[in-house]
Structure 1
Amino acid sequence: MKNLILAFCLLISNVIMAQSEIKGTVVSDGRPLQMANVILRKSNKATVTNEKGSYTLKNILPGNYEVIVSYTGFKTEKIAITVADSTELIVDFELKETHSLDEVVVTGTLKPVSRLESAVPVEVYKTSFFKKNPTANVFDAMQNVNGVRPQLNCNICNTGDIHINGLEGPYTLVLIDGMPIVSGLSTVYGLSGIPNSLLERIEIVKGPASSLYGSEAVGGLINIITKNPNNAPLFSADSFVTDWGEWNLDLGFKGNVGKTASVLTGVNYFNYSNPIDNNHDNFTDVTLQDRVSAFQKWNFNRKSNKLLSLAGRYFYEDRWGGELQWNKSYRGGDEVYGESIYTKRWELLGAYDLPTVEKMRFSFSYTDHDQNSVYGDMPFLAQQRIGFGQLTWDKKINKNDLLFGTALRYQYYDDNTTATIEEDINWIPSLFVQDEIAFNDTHKILLGARYDYNRNHGNIFTPRFAYKWKINDNNILRFNTGTGFRIVNLFTEEHAALTGSRDVIVLEELKPERSYNANLNYLKKIYTGNGNFIGLETTAWYTRFSNSIIPDYDTNPNQIIYKNLDGHAVTKGVSANVDMIFYNGLKLILGATYMDVTKTEDEVTTQQILTEKFSGTWAISYRISDLFLDVDYTGNVYGPMRLPRLGDLDPRSEFSPTWSVQNIQFTFNKFKNIEIYAGVKNLLNWTPNKGNPFIIARANDPFDKNVQFDGNGNVQATADNPYALTFDPGYVYGPNQGIRSFFGLRYTLR
């Protein structure tokens, strides 16, 4: 018996002595990566790296293994090893950031799929891209995305919309987590105040997507993806100030409610209360704002691991612009001109995977937008409510990857203008189907169709076709074609509609706008022998619109005339994006777009107002590892665009010059969990008033008290008004804010 015990002890001792240890570090560009996941495949061993990027795996038995390291935003690396008796192995990892070509996207097909495998071209922009030029809202952040331009529509209130490939804001659908909660009236406000701490990435589809998303996805769509609470840091804070007096704060918190759910909360606060008038017209150059937004997202833990997510956001903003001596005591009066906007928004969205064997998901959203605004002495009071519910069934049958869906959209709109005679209530039921057929690893096609019913326009059918040819792993060709539609609501926030004296004239039964689109996309990846990477993506597109509805304020100054365009509109062009990552720490993201956007009526073709022929964007980054310093140089350039003048006597330029806004930022990241950044925005100090005698027409007489009209309502040229103008702040094509410095601090606790 003693011999057996002795033999057993010797055996145990030999096993213990035979066990080994694996150590190493995980870095990126020389910087340690904390909380990277380290897994030893073929064992039950796993750990995470510490603040120095180090890890240790103990008590490893002899054998063959594979060490796998993963980290969000970086390419997963694997190393095969052989462990002998009682050894200590050093296995280090150098992770490289994943470029957007390898991202998983959901926007193009409503299914998670690798961007390289998607038959629909989807552009992906991660938070690291937007950190290169920090902004206080998503609207401004779009300025460095190729082919996408935030367009200001008013010099005073600074409201605007998003242009994609030259198409105006109403043609762009904005989603949050796939739900269409930003629409029409509320686009600029819905894009403001989304806390950057909650932003995971932004996916952009250019071209009609109505077969999946319905009305408004005619020119393209922007899908803002928020973080999954399970993957978010415990706490994050990001704040910056500018020498103009702007202050922005983003906070993010993550917590667990027992084993029931994980919760992510984000808060954004922005304040600018320093009136500046650098062009000396007695009007604020930039709208003053006081804004707060709170967002919370819950992910519930289910035994089946199926999704149950619920999120909500509250947004409030008080913004005003106008004459420098304006204060709230003048709101709505005709003594001192000011444009004051109070906005309140509630948003709710969620997703629930049904407890069925089949993959079925119910998604929903609801928004309530209340706006109380005055433009001088003209009030604009509006309410918009949008409810949306959608049920999808994801089914694979052999080579067919099918998606069936049904949706119901509720729309409510009412305002006090003459453009809205009575409140507009509409229910739009929809059915859609999609079939993605993979013939082999090389060829794939996607067929789709959607049916919508609108009580004003009847039955609407939108088909879709896409083809992807994977020539090889580094060359992909895509062809997409389809139709889109947009149901136009007769409301507007234009100043001309707020006079109260105009009659609304609808000359015919309005038909929904329709579009027919085709685009060809080519993507190429180039890997060089020294570890450099180049990604090239180019797209050519052609879109033709019929039944365009444009409110006519010019034919009769006493009327707003609505009718379908007696002709057609066309947007066509080509764009290219280049991503370059070099082993020495240099990264370049370059974009260029050339387009031709025209409208043809009565055989006369004109260039669309506020649409540039060409544009370019860039983001050049370089990391100086020895100094723990990142340098980011970003910017854009836009070609001439036709501008909205008031008549032949208007001395302001008919076309804008070629103009550019450029920025530089320095980020210091030596300290644990902390980034310190500073830089200069608008390095060239460009503003649209350069080369023009004035930007705001009749800024000295904003209530038109000294403007004279003839019997037909036409403005007369007088000694006091030699150019026959009325007050007009709509001559705007770019931001009116000059050069400014900024300083910021980020803190992240994982």
Structure 2
Amino acid sequence: MMYNRLSAYATSKTLFCRYLLLLMLWIYFSCEVIAQQAAETTFSGVLSDSTGKAIVGATIMVTGRGAVTSSDARGCFSLPAAYAQSFTARHVNYLPLEVTITLPIVSDSLYRWTMQGKPNMLDQISVTASPMPIELRKIASSVSIIQKTDPELRQIQTLDEALAYIPGVSVDRGRGLTTTGTHTNVIMRGTGSANRTLILKDGVPINDSYTGGVSEWNSLAGNSIERIEVVRGPGSSIYGSNSMGGTINLVTQNPTAQPVLGADFRYGSMDTYQANMKVGKQLTDRWGAIVFAEYKKTGGYTYMADSLWNNYFQRPSMTLFNVNTKLSYNFPGAGTLTAIADYNGQQPLSGTNTIYDDHTMTGNYQLRYTNPEATYAPDILAYYNVQNRQSEAIRWDASANAFSDRYYDSRVPLDTYGLIAKVHRTWAKHAVTWGTDLRFTEIVSRKDYFDQGIQDFTGRQDFISFFINDDFSLTDRLHANLGLRYDYWANRNGRFFDNMSGEDIAINYDDASKHIVNPKIGLTYDLTNNWRLRTVYATGFRAPSSFYMYNAAPLGSSFRLGNPDLKPERMNYSFDLGADYQLSDVLELSTTIYRSQYSDFLTAVLIDADEVPSYFDVQGLPVRQYINIGEVNLWGAEAFARYRISRDLSVQLSYFYNTSKITRYETNPEYEGNSMNDNPRNNFSEAVVFDRPGLFHLSVWGRHTGSFYGDLENTTDREMAAVTVFDLKFGKTLGPVSLNINMMNIFDKQYYGSYTSPSSYYYAPGRSIFAGITYQINH
């Protein structure tokens, strides 16, 4: 019985093993047949970007098999169906795309996917380099954009400080925070003067019509900036006068859906206080508001050599207060209305033998309507800028051992109002903008010399302009910019009055005017999605301001005589050739070479005293008169590189080379071949930045400025020596609170911030240390 059972069990076991073996063989052969059939079935896919453009050269990766194919010129690829269920598409310019297909796979079907591009500088939108917002890749000009989160804008004291590391830009704030008015020089591409660079605030020119410079870089709170856009090369085809070397646009923050709340306080060297705050929010679907305020006070420093500093000289000091406000209203489906009001009050005190106690009030007001969704998209901007500068000059009285000899009181009110109206329209591949730009300025300068008399001049400067611009694509890779602007410039109602000699001298000047046309032609070509070439041809001009035409008074170490016959300066041509490249978020490169020429450049030249009308009292000073002279050739190169070593650590380098030579000087041919003043031939900057959110920020910045001449005569004793300085920034974040330390001029390098003669020169600030605390929500 037991035997029968064991025999039956053995038989059953044998049958089960045979059955299992047959089942395994059936599965094996079935799989082979299926695999063979699948291998014979193709699967096809198409890869494109968010615009629908085909992605060429994407690698298709299959786990366990590596790269099996790549996309062709149409973005197409094919795979055996066996590999198609799960794969990854990779491309250097796009984020990896992981694909899983639900079974069953339909034979000979065509699947489509969109790959998202990696962060690319060329996809940033610029609102300055073209009359309408447009991607950098379609702009032929050389452009740099500093975002509010970039290290250049961290813990800054003044806005121009952030520009010091941009190629093509030279920044001179000779006495630190105590530098006021037009003594802050921001010069682009070696054009020799700050008033040949146009400065915009939210698209509105803030160069004044008194000297053409930017009177108060301090009139905007540093924490109000959303970004700074720098466009190198003439921009007169878009913006008209002053944009010969380039254009800088200070773009302020808008209210957002998330509440913004922040406060910052810093204290440091030279008994310097700096505090600011901001608060804002999109209050409803329609209303939004944001407010910025800033307070600064500094006690200054001894800025001259001991041998030149008399014991009664006073250190310069400065106090200022800014309030910047923005209110927006969204019309449902019908655009946005934005109102801006800025106030700046500033009280600098400076001087040596004469103390200048200044009081300056600046107000900037804007009302802007935009509707980018409309077929004919309007952008209408009305603005009013007002400035009132008052100064009391008091001389040192040795007998009284005090500053008690009242010299003069002065008042310079400036009123500028204007309208910029644009319309955007897209036809096929053309984005066309046309519009008008109207600007009118009233200038008054009044000086009351105690016990001597009064000296006034007044005038009016008008601009009436029309422009058109077309940004279009010739092919998917080739883009073009065409621009043309007509300007009618006029100086009117010029009048000078002086009774310093004991008799009334009244001069009514003839009106001066000019019709000027400025074109721009630019091309960009995308070699790949992250590498492009660009070239641009443009012209520019700068109209003479009232100060250079009508003023006649002592200025510094000379007597300055105006010239009502001045002509506008002209940038005859400027030609750029450049390239930009970005490898993911790891490497960013940009380089440009350029050649420019401008004529009728304006400068103050020495003239004989007998050429001065007898009714002017030059007080025994040498006389310089403003005239248009000669021709200047410029050429140079700009380069920028940023490399991200790791997620937290990066390095960046910039280099700027420029040579500006006088090729024709009508009144003094011996000047021909001289270099333009205030033009360092070499500028080099570098930075090492470690930034890990939640841990700390540490960056070290270095700047090298080559030697340059302080005058057109290229006088050797007015040559500024080359200098290299280093700065350090440190910040530690603890939730919404952060602690920060800035150290400027780490190695306490002594160098000239201004050098006019061996007996009159100013040292830039030495080592300066500032520490602060910041509270910030949704900055």
- Which category of TM-score, normalised to the shorter sequence, fits these structures? 0.7 to 0.9
- Output the amino acid matched with 2:513: H
Judged with a 3 Å threshold, the aligned counterparts in structure 2 of structure 1 residues 309 and 473 are, in CA distance, closer, same or farther, namely same
Q: Which amino acid aligns with 2:589?
A: L
Indicate whether 1:590 and 2:653 are aligned.
yes
Which residues in structure 2 correspond to 1:283-322 (within 5 Å)? 287-304=316-333, 306-322=335-351
Secondary structure of 1:254 counterpart = strand
AA aligned opposite 2:673 = T
**Aligned equivalents of 2:650 and 2:557: distance in 1?**
54
Pairwise CA distance, 1:475: 1.6
Aligned counterpart, 2:190: 166
Q: Which residue of 2 aligns with 1:743?
A: 771
Name the CA shift for 1:622/1:209 in 2 (closer, same or farther; >3 Å). Answer: same
Contact kept in structure 2, 1:507 and 1:561, CA below 8 Å: no
Secondary structure of the residue aligned to 1:110 is coil
Query: Structure 2 residue aligned with 1:613, among 681, 684, 696?
Result: 681
Query: Which of 626, 642, 664 is the aligned partner of 1:562?
Result: 626
Of residues 251-260 and 656-665 in structure 1, the stretch that sits farther from structure 2 once superposed is 251-260
1:359-374 alignment, distance < 5 Å: 359-374=377-392
1:460 maps to amino acid: I
Does the 8 A contact of 1:435 with 1:446 survive in 2? yes
SS at match of 1:116: helix
The 5 A counterparts of 1:269-348 are 269-273=295-299, 275-276=301-302, 279-280=305-306, 281-282=309-310, 287-304=316-333, 306-323=335-352, 337-348=354-365
Check if 1:220 corresponds to 2:246: yes
Kindly tell me: are residues 457 and 110 of structure 1, through their superposed partners in 2, closer, same or farther at Cα, counting changes over 3 Å?
same
Deviation at 1:96, TM superposition (A): 13
Task: Tell me how far apart the structure 1 counterparts of residues 740 and 95 of structure 2 sit (CA, whole Å).
Answer: 30
TM-superposed CA distance for 1:498, in Å, is 4.0
Q: Which residue of 1 aligns with 2:462?
A: 427
How far apart, in 2, do the equivalents of 1:363 and 1:571 lie? 35
Q: 1:145, CA displacement in angstroms?
A: 2.5
Q: For residue 491 of structure 1, give the secondary structure of its aligned residue in structure 2.
A: helix
Match of 1:700 in 2: none
Deviation per CA, 1:656-714: give whole Å up to 9, x if none.
22202211122112x21222111321012122259xxx9686xxxxxxxxxxxxxxxxx
| Deviation, structure 1 residue 744 | 1.6
Structure 1 residues 103, 555: CA separation in 2 closer, same or farther (over 3 Å shift)?
farther
Instruction: Give the match for residue 376 of structure 2.
Output: 358
* Structure 2 partner of 1:517: 574
Alpha-carbon distance in 2 for matches of 1:119, 1:647: 35
Does residue 1:406 correspond to 2:459, yes or no? no
| TM-score, structure 2 normalization | 0.72
2:619 maps to 1:551: no
Whole-Å separation in 1 of the counterparts to 2:303 and 2:602: 37
List aligned pairs for 1:31-46, cutoff 5 A: none
- Structure-2 separation of matches of 1:309 and 1:366: 14
Q: 1:133 to 1:385 in 2, by over 3 A?
A: same
- Residue identity in the other structure for 1:291: L
- CA distance in structure 2 between the aligned counterparts of 1:443 and 1:741, rounded to whole angstroms: 50
Contact 2:661 2:673 in 1 (8 A): yes
Distance (whole Å) between structure 1 residues aligned to residue 257 and residue 552 of structure 2: 46
Compared CA separation, residues 523 and 499, structure 1 to 2 (3 A): closer
Could you say what secondary structure the match of 2:636 adopts?
Answer: strand
Q: Following TM superposition, by how much is the alpha carbon of 1:634 offset from its aligned partner in structure 2, in angstroms?
A: 1.1
Q: Are 1:251 and 1:266, in contact at CA under 8 Å, matched by a contact in 2?
A: yes
Which of 516, 519, 530 is equivalent to 1:463?
Answer: 519
CA distance in 1, matches of 2:602, 2:712: 21
Q: Deviation per CA, 1:620-672, whole angstroms, max 9, x where unpaired?
A: 101467x8122100121101111349998xxx844222202211122112x21
Query: For residues 577 and 298 of structure 1, what CA distance do their matches in structure 2 show?
Result: 37
Distance of aligned partners of 1:78 and 1:345 in 2 relative to their CA distance in 1, 3 Å threshold: farther
Alignment coverage as a number of residue pairs? 610
| 8 Å Cα contact 2:571-2:596 kept in structure 1 | no
Q: Is the 8 A contact 1:171 1:219 kept in 2?
A: yes
- Alignment partner for residue 265 of structure 1, among 285, 291, 295? 291
Is 1:481 the counterpart of 2:543 in the alignment? no
Residue 641 of structure 1 aligns to which amino acid in structure 2? Answer: F
Q: Distance in 2 between matches of 1:432 and 1:696?
A: 42
SS of corresponding position for 1:667: strand
Q: How does 1:574-585 map to 2 (within 5 A)?
A: 574-585=637-648
Map residues 586-735 of structure 1 onto 2, 5 A cutoff.
Answer: 586-599=649-662, 600-602=664-666, 603=669, 604-623=672-691, 628-644=695-711, 653-669=717-733, 671-688=734-751, 728=760, 731=761
SS in 2 for 1:676: strand
Within 5 A, what are the aligned runs for 1:33-112?
100-112=121-133
Structure 1 gaps, min length 5: 1-63, 65-74, 85-94, 324-335, 698-722
Deviation at 1:358, TM superposition (A): 1.8
Deviation at 1:306, TM superposition (A): 1.3
**Aligned-residue RMSD, C-alpha:** 3.6
Distance 2:714 2:189 in 1: 28
**Distance across 2 between alignment mates of 1:262 and 1:190:** 28
- 2:592 maps to 1:539: yes
Question: Are the equivalent residues in 1 in contact too, given 2:701–2:727 (CA < 8 A)?
Answer: yes
* Inter-partner Cα distance in structure 1 for 2:471 and 2:438: 24
1:251 aligns to 2:277 (yes or no): yes
Question: C-alpha offsets along residues 494-527 of structure 1, whole Å, 9 cap, x if unaligned?
Answer: 9973489958463856344343211111111234
Equivalent-residue separation in structure 1 for 2:683 and 2:300 (angstroms): 32
1:443 aligned to 2:471?
Answer: no
Which residue of 1 is the match for residue 166 of structure 2? 145
Cα distance in 2 for partners of 1:394, 1:372 equals: 42
Q: Residues 362 and 160 (structure 1 numbering): CA distance in 2 closer, same or farther, change over 3 Å?
A: same
What per-residue deviation string (whole Å, max 9, x for no partner) do you get for residues 402-429 of structure 1?
1111111112222137999631113221
Equivalent AA in structure 1 for residue 628 of structure 2: N
Compute the displacement of 1:381 (Å): 2.6
Name the SS for the 1:563 alignment partner. Answer: strand
- Match runs of 1:93-242 below 5 Å: 100-130=121-151, 134-152=155-173, 159-167=183-191, 168-184=193-209, 185=211, 187-230=213-256, 233-242=259-268
**Percent of aligned pairs with the same amino acid:** 17
Q: CA separation in 1, counterparts of 2:130 and 2:464?
A: 20
How far, CA to CA, are the matches of 1:553 and 1:494 in structure 2?
Answer: 16
Larger Rg: 2
Letter in 2 for 1:412: E
In structure 2, the partner of 1:382 is: 412
1:123–1:204 Cα contact (<8 Å) kept: yes
What is the Cα deviation at residue 391 of structure 1? 1.1
Cα distance, 1:273–1:499 mapped onto 2, change above 3 Å = closer
Q: Distance in 1 between matches of 2:301 and 2:172?
A: 22
Flag structure 2 segments of 5+ consecutive residues without an equivalent. Answer: 1-84, 86-92, 103-115, 396-406, 449-453, 491-511, 610-620
**Aligned partner of residue 212 in structure 1, secondary structure:** helix
Counterpart CA distance in 2 for 1:277 and 1:445 is: 50
* Contact 2:175–2:765 under 8 Å retained in 1: no
The residue identity in structure 1 corresponding to 2:745 is N
**Alignment-derived partner of residue 25 in structure 1:** none
Q: 2:122 & 2:320 partners in 1: Cα distance?
A: 35
- Take 1:524 and 1:101, find their aligned partners in 2: how far apart are those partners? 9
Could you tell me how far apart the structure 1 residues matched to 2:313 and 2:428 are?
A: 63
Q: Distance in 2 between matches of 1:587 and 1:501?
A: 49
SS at match of 2:237: helix
Alpha-carbon distance, 1:590 to partner: 1.1
In 1, are the aligned partners of 2:543 and 2:567 still within 8 Å (CA)?
no
CA distance in 2, matches of 1:319, 1:402: 46
Q: CA deviation at 1:453?
A: 1.1
Give 3-state SS (helix, strand or coil) of 1:170's partner: helix
| Alpha-carbon distance in 1 for matches of 2:488, 2:551 | 29
Residue 98 to residue 254, structure 1, CA distance change in 2 (3 Å): farther
Cα displacement string for residues 425-468 of structure 1 (whole angstroms, at most 9, x for unaligned residues): 13221110111221111111111100111232231111110011
Preserved CA contact (<8 Å) 1:505 1:559: no
